[in-house]
Structure 1
Amino acid sequence: MSSARDALAARRSRSKVTDAAPSHEEILAAAAVAGRVADHSSLHPWRLIELRGEARARLGEAIARAEASDSPSTKPLRAPLLIAIVAARKPSTKVPHWEQDAVASGVAHMLSLLLDEAGWGVMWRTGHYTRSESVAAMHGLGDDERLLGWLYVGGRLDAKPGKGDGAPKLLDAERFVSVLD
């Protein structure tokens, strides 16, 4: 079993994937673990929506409406499974919306790590159309929900010769960490 450090160090976004995808049951199992993210007051202010098959084409049509385009977007067809990450904000006097959105983002990141570790290719995609009415309506979002983006998930492709399949090098943490005296 690898450590969390190993999983994080090995993680990389994969923009190109095969047509294979995890099953609904695999997503449920991963979501149960990802849902263990820190969550002030245990509000669980998130939900996930699986988009497979024709649902991806309908998303392409909704994106086209958001962009005032005559042609459906083909972006949702880049992976066999898209997992919409939804911040499902709950009424709370203790937990502001930004913190609830952070929980939903944390679930998305944990889910992406779990799927990556399980051997799937994953990339988190966003865009201005995540905030459009047509895309929100296509996902059936309520007034208290915000679409944060999608995890594009599919089978991993073998690395091209000479490209390697390793994770990007670790960042220079000195640039981002300071000590307050």
Structure 2
Amino acid sequence: MTAHEALRARRSWSKVTDAAPTREQLLPLIEAAGRVADHSSLRPWRLIELRDNDRITLGQALAEASGDTDPSTKPLRAPLLIAVVVTYHDSPKVPHWEQEAVAAGVAHMMSLLLDEAGWGVIWRTGKLTRTRAVAHAHGLADNEELLGWLYVGGKPDKSPGHRKKIDAEQMISRMPVPGGH
């Protein structure tokens, strides 16, 4: 499959089976995803693997962050969650927004690579990703922020559904002519 074919075939899998890639299966995918464009090669990202009871700990942190008494069951929707963390570096050349873009690029590359390897993936975010309780549960340093989680599991037998086609003509324009309207 070419990169173009993989991109056109990519879908989010909101429901997955209990199968999940092993850490050994993840390592070459992480190495490949790390090839994303990265100004000054800062590598301003890291991934955190959440399995088994880690997901329960996350559910408790989500509950604490939202003021609920019962742990959230959302982290139990997949057997493996991969937390995507941006690790900011002080750099006169690379602003924080660009470092965050690199980490987001790694997350997207990981979702493509996992999909190509046969795994169902969905990237989940939300307002609780940057709360103190969730950051503490992940052991984030002061210079880190959570971008979200890749929920990973086996692809069920049924299709995840269709995505709307992108009208490329609507998504690209030319630079305005100076002094023009």
- Same fold flag (TM > 0.5): yes
The aligned runs of 1:61-140 (5 Å cut-off) are 61-140=60-139
CA distance, structure 2, for counterparts of residue 82 and residue 108 of structure 1? 12
CA distance, structure 2, for counterparts of residue 23 and residue 170 of structure 1? 33
Amino acid paired to 1:178:
S
Structure 1 residue ranges without an equivalent (≥5): none
Q: Identity percentage over the alignment?
A: 63
What is the CA-CA distance between 1:176 and the residue it aligns to?
1.2
CA distance, structure 1, for counterparts of residue 140 and residue 120 of structure 2? 27
Amino acid paired to 2:57:
R
CA distance, structure 2, for counterparts of residue 113 and residue 175 of structure 1? 25
What is the CA-CA distance between 1:175 and the residue it aligns to?
1.5
CA contact (8 A) 1:59 1:76 kept: yes
Amino acid paired to 1:57:
I
Deviations 1:45-78 (A, max 9, x none): 0000000000000000000000000110000000
CA distance, structure 2, for counterparts of residue 170 and residue 112 of structure 1? 19
Structure 1 equivalent of residue 145 of structure 2: 146
CA distance, structure 1, for counterparts of residue 80 and residue 28 of structure 2? 16
CA distance, structure 2, for counterparts of residue 5 and residue 54 of structure 1? 37
Deviations 1:32-53 (A, max 9, x none): 0000000000000000000000
The aligned runs of 1:15-26 (5 Å cut-off) are 15-26=14-25
Deviations 1:121-171 (A, max 9, x none): 000000111010000000000000000000000000011xxxx56752531
Structure 2 residue ranges without an equivalent (≥5): none
Q: Secondary structure at the match of 1:15?
A: coil
Structure 1 runs of 4+ aligned residues shifted over 2 Å read 164-170
Amino acid paired to 1:150:
W
CA distance, structure 2, for counterparts of residue 137 and residue 16 of structure 1? 27
TM-score by length of 2: 0.94
Q: Tell me which of 158, 169, 177 is aligned to 1:174.
A: 169
Q: Secondary structure at the match of 1:48?
A: strand
What is the CA-CA distance between 1:19 and the residue it aligns to?
0.3
CA distance, structure 2, for counterparts of residue 144 and residue 87 of structure 1? 8
Amino acid paired to 2:63:
A
CA distance, structure 2, for counterparts of residue 149 and residue 68 of structure 1? 20
TM-score by length of 1: 0.94
CA distance, structure 2, for counterparts of residue 123 and residue 165 of structure 1? 11
The aligned runs of 1:5-44 (5 Å cut-off) are 5-44=4-43
What is the CA-CA distance between 1:179 and the residue it aligns to?
1.5
CA distance, structure 2, for counterparts of residue 167 and residue 11 of structure 1? 10
What is the CA-CA distance between 1:97 and the residue it aligns to?
0.3
